[in-house]
């Protein structure tokens, strides 16, 4: 199934997906320095939610035959971005992130949310 947008042939071409993967990579790198005691709590939560953003975008792409399914999965991605932002704030307040990294990561979440919001608003342009 091809997209109505001639410049988008796959979810991998979407800026939102590229940004989501970059965010997940950044989260992984910074979370390597979290305390061992956080392994099964904060570290797992922040990694899971950040990785889920891109996974939800990929699922949305696979469900774009039906606009409501597409929007539903993009909404899930949006929610995961906000959850990730929450965990970034927790990590910052626990002292695991420097202020510059905190700002960079929260800004990245904000950009992803804006991109997803645009996709949701123009969902009909992505769906067949």
3-state secondary structure of 7: coil
In a domain, 4, yes or no: no
> Does 17 have pLDDT greater than 80?
yes
Q: How confident is the model at residue 8 (pLDDT cuts 50, 70, 90)?
A: confident
In a domain, 44, yes or no: yes
* Residue span of the structural domain in which 100 resides: 11-126
Q: What is the pLDDT of residue 1?
A: 47
In a domain, 5, yes or no: no
Domains in the chain, number: 1
* Cβ proximity of 106 and 89 under 8 Å: yes
Tell me the whole-structure pTM to 2 decimals: 0.91
In a domain, 3, yes or no: no
In a domain, 37, yes or no: yes
Output the domain CATH number for residue 84: 1.20.1440.60
Q: What is the pLDDT of residues 106-126, one digit of tens each?
A: 999 999 999 999 999 999 998
> Does 102 have pLDDT greater than 60?
yes
Residue in 105, 52, 102 with CA at minimum distance from that of residue 75: 52
């Amino acid at each position: 199934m091809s997209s109505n947008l001639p410049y988008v042939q796959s979810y991998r071409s979407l800026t939102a997906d590229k940004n989501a993967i970059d965010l997940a990579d950044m989260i992984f790198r910074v979370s390597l320095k979290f305390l061992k005691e956080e392994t099964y709590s904060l570290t797992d939560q922040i990694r899971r939610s950040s990785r889920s953003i891109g996974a939800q975008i990929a699922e949305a792409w696979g469900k774009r035959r039906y606009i409501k399914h597409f929007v539903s999965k993009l909404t899930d991605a949006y929610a995961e971005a906000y959850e990730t932002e929450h965990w970034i704030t927790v990590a910052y307040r626990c002292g695991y992130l420097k202020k510059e990294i905190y700002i960079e990561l929260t800004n990245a979440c904000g950009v992803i949310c804006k991109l997803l919001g645009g996709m949701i608003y123009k969902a009909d342009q992505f769906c067949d």
